[in-house]
């Protein structure tokens, strides 16, 4: 009993720390990534004891600056809701990580250990619902600021997230149908099968669903080209009236959601912690070579593989952000309702037909 | 000249003409001048409107014994500039008929006249202050206005009165008045208004019902400054109006004074002027391209464009010593000769820029989102463009090849081999196409001008050593700035200062057409359309 609790606490610390640190680091990655794409050097001024390390201390400096800044509440804002909104945003972005499996289940001294903070059998449903709760923070921020711009931002956010929530949910139904489970660990484990030595990852089985989910996830995380709630050149965004760390929390939510979307994409479509040809006792390559490994190493390799895949998707989302201009509101809605939703429904139909016929 | 007289018989047929004058176009810049009675003005304007003349400019002049409204009408296809004057001897309550229902562009000109001179335009739909604050009590362009050196100190100070205490009262009133309506003040601190433009948007959800541009936040009254300074002292002001394309404004002012003095610059100076102006035009268009894509949400192109613009600024810095607000042109020449090394830089820059243009085209036009955001957005029809007096790339995006460099050639432009790119789209995408094509044409001109540049002095023989005295008369000179038709109407009285120097800036007319382009669009389109007009606020506010 105590053992389980301690394991869970450690796991929570690892996942929470990993997500928060990755989100923090992403602010630096974003600056450097954009700098590379824009022929610039990028952030490199912050130094600690004369060390610069490519400006890696910038996230720290940013955080410090945000915390030390004046926390300003507009005179005609709703004080309580205004203060509550950023917390709601960050909270729902953080707790969604609970259902993501970061490694394979294993047994240690007679205890079954799940590398998943919340080992629940409706993990996918949980994540989707928590992600859609995140919109409350945005809507509250837009409403409570008593500012026309942030109000528009909040409206845009709510309608955008509701629209894309549906596509997002429907697009992954194909995978759920094939695996017959909403448990993310089961979904990942099912991706460990092979068809003529080709790993049966979600991206190969459900390519259409992958692209739909990728698009919807970008829309969910409010990143360019779907950054309409922010739209810094149009309406500045739902957080116009926020300053200091409260603004920082919205900023952090943005990056946390990026990490979350990457983690979900990895889990559903890129085999989660799976490495091709790595089985529970080591590598069995299709050409016959076998590398036997001890179980802890296999588990560790899985966790590392998962992290690398997540970081890859984070980078990929960054790259898209600095490449594309922004959609217009009605175009976004048209894309969501008239193109993506029908395609995802057809995808379900085709998946079902194939499953029945085979 | 006789032919034009025959052709233009319709202008005044049956109207009360007080006097008519045939101007020498090469000397004054006008083809014809009429002084007509107030009652005939509207009829005359309607005739011009029906024959596709646009209202080029409206200047009010305060003469000792009367107020005078000078309307300039002109054509796109064949230059025929007609100056129509209406006089009102009543100095205390001057009234003029409005033309704002015939030419929508007259709306702002008339408001400006009211603002600066206190001239009332009867039946004007919205005769309020335009460039000065609504609370202003002064008419600063009147000759009897003394400013803070005179007795009007209190009135001037009233301009900066701060009215915060009224917020609670006013906000409650507005709340009761507008139950459903949604208003947004876009600007003057909004990042996408390119300076200090304020747009009051009346919205239904995200859909724009009406737009009211509010301007004047960077108003410094350059026209009044011109009356205080002598002709030479006023030259630095030119770089402060259109700070993005300051060379064209230099060109406009210096060209005007040279025309009035009947003086020609040295041949070498002509070529230096042309290639530096064209380089500046490219820099202006590059700045526009970068910021426009920034407005649409793409941040990366901004840096690419600034990278290229930097090359041009470096070259112009070598030439002029300045990077932005150039004060380079002098009466009869230019300030400095071409330095060593500039030629090499220019020769390296031109092919590089051509390569970059191709990249831009591919990167931008293959992007579906960009195309969807710009096509069929902000449509300005040919008739609306005529009504508002829109010029420059915005007009050429309506398919009309009106460019002063060809239509009314000045300096050495007739010797240059270049085209006027036009696109028939009438939308924001066509404006983008025009500007990108113009960069290529400007490269061609700069290349030719630099190659053909003769040796010789950089100042003409008759170049004045001190500030000149312009002989009495009325002069008009127009150049094609990066944003369109930049013209100046000078009333000189033979003294060391201009009596009146009206600046006809291109963005002023272009911006006034904004509200007609926006109705029915979304908030995001406001940014896209506003960006496509390429306004530079200090040039509008002057």
- Which residues from B are below 8 Å from A323, CB to CB? 298, 300
Task: Give the model's pLDDT for residue B3.
Answer: 46
The closest CB to that of A39, out of B190, B192, B307, belongs to B307
CA distance B424 to chain A (A): 24
B222 or B2, greater pLDDT: B222
**Domain coordinates of chain A in residue numbers?**
2-357
Q: At what angle do helices B428-452 and B342-365 cross, to 10 degrees?
A: 160
Domain boundary among B82, B101, B131: B131
Cα-Cα-Cα-Cα torsion B406, B410, B414, B417, nearest 10 degrees, comes to -70
Q: Provide the greatest CA pair distance for chain B.
A: 73
A233 vs B300: CB contact, 8 Å cut-off? no
Tokens of A149: 């711009």
- Kindly state whether A323 is in contact with chain B, defined as any CB-CB distance less than 8 angstroms: yes
Chain B nearest-CA residue for A224: B297
Taking contacts as CB-CB distances below 8 angstroms, the residues of chain B near A40 are: 303
Q: Cα distance from A148 to chain B (closest Cα, Å)?
A: 6
The per-residue pLDDT for range B262-308, each reduced to its tens digit, is 888 888 888 988 989 999 999 999 999 988 888 888 888 888 888 88
In chain A, residues with a C-beta closer than 8 Å to the C-beta of B310 are: none
Are A325 and B297 inside 8 Å of each other by CB? yes
Q: Which of A106-120, B41-55, B442-456 has the lowest mean pLDDT?
A: A106-120
Q: Is the dihedral of CA A347, A350, A353, A356 positive or negative?
A: negative
Domain boundary among B113, B131, B149: B131
Write the residue in B190, B206, B296 that is nearest to A326 by C-beta.
Answer: B296
- CA-closest candidate to residue A118, choices A201, A7, A213, A17: A7
Interface of B with A (CB under 8 A): 182-185, 190-192, 205-206, 293-300, 302-304, 307, 367, 369-370, 372-373, 522-527
The torsion angles phi and psi of B83, rounded to 5 degrees, stand at -100, 120
Contacts of B205 in chain A (CB under 8 A): 155
Hey, is the C-beta of A75 within 8 angstroms of any chain B C-beta? Answer: no
> How many angstroms separate the CA atoms of B45 and B62, rounded?
22
Residue recorded with tokens 């704002």: B100
CB B129 within 8 A of CB B111: yes
Q: What is the rounded CA–CA span in Å between residue B287 and residue B284?
A: 5
Percentage of residues in chain B having pLDDT higher than 70: 93
Q: Are strands A282-284 and A278-279 parallel, antiparallel or unpaired?
A: antiparallel
Q: Which residues of chain A have pLDDT under 70?
A: none
Q: What is the mean pLDDT of residues B250-261?
A: 88
Residue B150's pLDDT band, with cuts at 50, 70 and 90, is low
Does the distance separating the beta carbons of B524 and A322 come in below 8 Å?
Answer: no
Q: At B38, which CATH number?
A: 3.30.460.80
Under an 8 A CB cutoff, do B372 and A328 touch? yes
Q: What DSSP string runs through A53-94? A: GGGTTHHHHHHHHHHHS-----TTS-HHHHHHHHHHHHHHHH
CA-CA distances (angstroms) from residue B462 to B9, B466, B491?
40, 12, 23
Mean pLDDT of B187-196: 79
Whether the predicted pLDDT of B111 surpasses 70: yes
Per residue in A250-292, pLDDT tens? 888 888 888 999 999 998 888 888 888 887 777 888 887 888 8
Of the candidates B192, B303, B372, which has its C-beta nearest A39's C-beta?
A: B303
pLDDT of residue B1: 40
Beta carbon pairs, A and B, within 8 Å: 85
Looking at the DSSP assignment, which residues form a beta bridge with residue B491? B474, B500
Number of Cβ atoms within 10 Å of the Cβ of B184: 21
Distance from CA of A354 to the nearest CA of B (A): 33
Identify the residue whose tokens are 């008929």. Answer: B97
Q: Is residue B264 part of a domain?
A: yes
Q: Name which of B297, B428, B429, B526 to mutate to probe chain A: the one with the most chain A Cβ atoms within 10 A of its Cβ.
A: B297
CB B428 within 8 A of CB B377: yes
Beta-strand ranges (E) seen in chain A are 106-108, 111-113, 194-195, 198-199, 278-279, 282-284, 290-292
CA distances from B238 to A218, B71, B225, B243, B495 (A): 48, 24, 11, 8, 21
As to burial, measured by CB atoms within 10 angstroms (0-12 exposed, 13-18 middle, 19+ buried), residue B41 is buried
Per-chain mean pLDDT for chain B: 84
Alpha carbon distance B274, B530 (integer Å):
29
Q: What is the mean pLDDT of residues B80-89?
A: 85
Q: Contact A236/B191, CB-based, under 8 Å?
A: yes
B535 lies in some domain? yes
| Mutation for testing the B interface, residue in A149, A155, A160, A233 having most B CBs under 10 Å | A233
Count, residues in chain B? 542
What is the C-alpha separation between B389 and B45, in angstroms, rounded? 13
Q: Which residues contact A180 (CB under 8 A, 6 or more apart)?
A: none
Residue of higher predicted confidence among B466 and B357: B357
Which residue in A37, A152, A326 is closest to B523 by CB distance? Answer: A152
Q: Do A34 and B524 touch (CB under 8 A)?
A: no
- Mean pLDDT over B147-158 rounds to 62
Dist. CA A20–CA A9, nearest whole Å: 16
How far is the C-alpha of A55 from the C-alpha of A29, rounded, in Å? 10
Region B492-496: mean pLDDT is 86
Contact A232 B295 (CB under 8 A): no
What's the rounded Cα separation, in Å, for the pair A150 and B184?
11
CA distance B273 to B319: 11
Query: What tokens appear for A4 in the block?
Result: 């389980």
CA dist B152 and B146 (Å) reads 6
Judgement on whether residues B226 and B126 belong to the same structural domain of the protein? no
Q: Is residue B215 part of a domain?
A: no
The total number of structural domains in chain B stands at: 2
What ipTM was predicted for this assembly?
0.82
Q: What is the pLDDT of residue B2?
A: 41
The answer to whether the CB of B499 falls within 8 A of the CB of B493 is yes
SS (H, E, C) B491-510: EECCCCCEEEEEEECHHHHH
A277 in reach of chain B (CB within 8 A) = no
Q: How far apart are the first and last CA of chain B?
A: 36
Whether residues B394 and B246 fall in one domain:
yes
The C-alpha R_g of chain A, in whole angstroms, comes to 21
- Confirm or reject contact between A230 and chain B (CB < 8 A): no
Tell me how close the Cα of A327 comes to any Cα of chain B, in angstroms.
Answer: 6
Contact A50, A290 (CB under 8 A): no
Chain B interface mutation, best of A149, A325, A326, highest count of B Cβ atoms under 10 Å: A325
The rounded distance, in Å, linking the Cα atoms of B539 and B240 is: 8
Helix then strand then coil, in percent of chain A rounded to 5, is 65, 5, 30
Cβ pair B307:A227 closer than 8 A: no
Question: Are the C-beta atoms of residues B387 and B506 closer than 8 Å to each other?
Answer: no
Residue B174: inside a domain? no
Q: Which two tokens stand for residue A325?
A: 């201009």
Indicate yes or no: pTM above 0.95.
no
Which of B108, B131, B154 terminates a domain? The answer is B131
* Inside any domain, residue B201: no
Instruction: Report the gap between the CA of B289 and the closest CA in chain A (Å).
Output: 13
Task: Verify whether the Cβ–Cβ distance B295 to A233 is below 8 Å.
Answer: yes
Which residues of chain A make contact with B298, given a CB cutoff of 8 A? Answer: 224, 323-326
Of B182, B294, B300, the CB nearest to A233: B294
Please answer yes or no on whether A224 and B297 come within 8 Å at the CB atom. Answer: yes
CB contact under 8 A, B184 and A329: no
Domain limits at B120? 3-131
Residue B485 lies in a domain: yes
């Amino acid at each position: 009993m105590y053992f389980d609790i301690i394991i869970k606490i450690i796991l929570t610390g690892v996942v929470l720390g990993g997500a928060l640190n990755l989100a923090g680091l992403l602010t630096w990655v974003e600056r450097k990534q954009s700098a590379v794409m824009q022929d610039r050097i990028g952030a490199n001024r912050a130094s600690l004891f004369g060390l610069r390390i490519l400006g890696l201390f910038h996230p720290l400096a940013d955080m410090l600056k945000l915390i030390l800044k004046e926390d300003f509440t507009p005179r005609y804002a709703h004080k309580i809701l205004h203060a509550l909104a950023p917390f709601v945003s960050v909270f729902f972005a953080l707790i969604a990580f609970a259902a993501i499996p970061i490694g394979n289940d294993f047994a240690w001294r007679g205890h079954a250990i799940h590398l998943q903070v919340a080992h629940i059998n409706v993990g996918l449903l949980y994540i989707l619902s928590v992600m859609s709760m995140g919109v409350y923070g945005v809507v509250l921020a837009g409403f409570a600021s008593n500012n026309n711009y942030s109000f528009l931002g909040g409206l845009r956010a709510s309608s955008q997230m509701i629209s894309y929530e549906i596509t997002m949910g429907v697009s992954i139904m194909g995978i759920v149908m094939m695996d017959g489970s909403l448990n993310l660990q089961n979904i990942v484990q099912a991706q460990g099968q092979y068809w003529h030595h080709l790993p049966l990852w979600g991206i190969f089985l459900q390519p259409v669903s992958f692209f739909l989910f990728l698009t919807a996830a970008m829309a969910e995380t409010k990143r360019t080209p779907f950054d309409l709630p922010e739209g810094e050149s149009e309406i500045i965004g739902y957080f116009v009236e926020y300053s200091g760390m409260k603004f920082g929390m919205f900023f952090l939510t943005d990056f946390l959601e990026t990490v979350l979307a990457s983690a979900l994409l990895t889990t559903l479509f890129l085999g989660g912690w799976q490495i091709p040809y790595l089985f529970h006792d080591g590598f069995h390559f299709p050409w016959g070579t076998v590398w036997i490994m001890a179980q802890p190493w296999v588990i560790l390799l899985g966790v590392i593989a998962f992290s690398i895949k997540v970081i890859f998707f984070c980078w990929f989302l960054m790259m898209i952000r600095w490449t594309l201009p922004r959609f217009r509101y009605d175009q976004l809605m048209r894309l969501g309702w008239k193109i993506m939703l029908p395609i995802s429904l057809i995808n379900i139909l085709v998946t079902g037909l194939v499953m029945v016929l085979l | 000249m006789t032919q034009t007289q025959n052709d233009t018989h319709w202008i005044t047929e049956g109207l009360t003409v007080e006097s008519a004058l045939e101007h020498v176009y090469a000397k004054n810049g006008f083809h014809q001048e009429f002084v007509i009675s107030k009652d005939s003005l509207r009829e005359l304007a309607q005739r011009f409107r029906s024959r596709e003349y646009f209202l080029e400019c409206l200047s009010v002049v305060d003469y000792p014994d009367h107020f005078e409204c000078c309307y300039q009408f002109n054509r796109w296809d064949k230059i025929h500039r007609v100056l129509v004057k209406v006089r009102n001897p009543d100095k205390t309550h001057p009234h003029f008929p409005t033309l704002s229902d015939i030419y929508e562009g007259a709306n702002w000109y008339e408001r400006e006249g009211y603002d600066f001179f206190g001239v009332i335009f009867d039946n004007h739909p919205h005769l309020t202050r335009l460039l000065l604050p609504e609370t202003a009590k002064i008419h600063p362009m009147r000759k009897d206005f003394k400013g803070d050196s005179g007795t009007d100190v209190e009135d001037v100070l009233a301009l900066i009165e701060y009215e915060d205490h009224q917020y609670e009262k006013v906000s409650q009133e507005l709340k009761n008045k507008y139950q459903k309506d949604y208003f947004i003040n876009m600007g003057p601190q909004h990042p996408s208004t390119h300076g200090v433009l304020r747009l009051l948007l009346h919205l239904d959800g995200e859909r724009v019902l009406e737009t009211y541009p509010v301007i004047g936040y960077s108003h410094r009254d350059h026209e009044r400054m011109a009356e205080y300074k002598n002709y030479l002292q006023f030259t630095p002001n030119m770089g402060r109006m259109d700070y993005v394309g300051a060379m064209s404004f230099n060109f406009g002012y210096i060209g005007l004074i040279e025309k009035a003095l009947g003086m020609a610059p040295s041949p070498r100076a002509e070529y230096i002027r042309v290639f530096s102006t064209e380089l500046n035009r490219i820099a202006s268009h590059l700045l526009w391209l970068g910021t426009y894509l920034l407005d649409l949400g793409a941040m990366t192109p901004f840096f690419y464009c600034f990278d290229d613009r930097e090359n041009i600024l470096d070259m112009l810095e070598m030439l002029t010593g300045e990077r932005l607000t150039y004060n380079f042109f002098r009466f009869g020449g230019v300030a400095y000769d071409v330095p060593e090394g500039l030629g090499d830089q220019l020769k390296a820059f031109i092919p590089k820029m051509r390569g970059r243009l191709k990249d831009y085209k591919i990167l931008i036009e293959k992007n579906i989102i960009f195309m969807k955001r710009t096509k069929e957005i902000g449509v300005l029809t040919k008739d609306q463009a005529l009504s508002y007096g829109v010029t420059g790339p915005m007009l050429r995006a309506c398919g009309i090849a009106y460019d002063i460099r060809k239509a009314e050639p000045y300096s050495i432009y007739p010797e240059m081999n270049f085209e006027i790119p036009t696109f028939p789209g009438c939308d924001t995408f066509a404006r983008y196409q025009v500007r990108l094509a113009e960069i290529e044409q400007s490269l061609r001109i700069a290349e030719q001008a630099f190659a053909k540049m003769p040796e010789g002095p950089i100042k003409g023989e008759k170049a004045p050593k001190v500030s000149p005295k312009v002989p009495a008369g009325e002069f008009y000179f127009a150049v094609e700035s990066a944003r369109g038709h930049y013209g100046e109407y000078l009333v000189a009285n033979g003294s060391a200062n201009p009596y009146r120097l009206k600046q006809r800036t291109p963005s002023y007319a272009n911006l006034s057409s904004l509200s007609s382009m926006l109705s029915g669009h979304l908030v995001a389109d406001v940014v896209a359309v506003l960006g496509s007009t390429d306004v530079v606020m200090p040039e509008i506010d002057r």
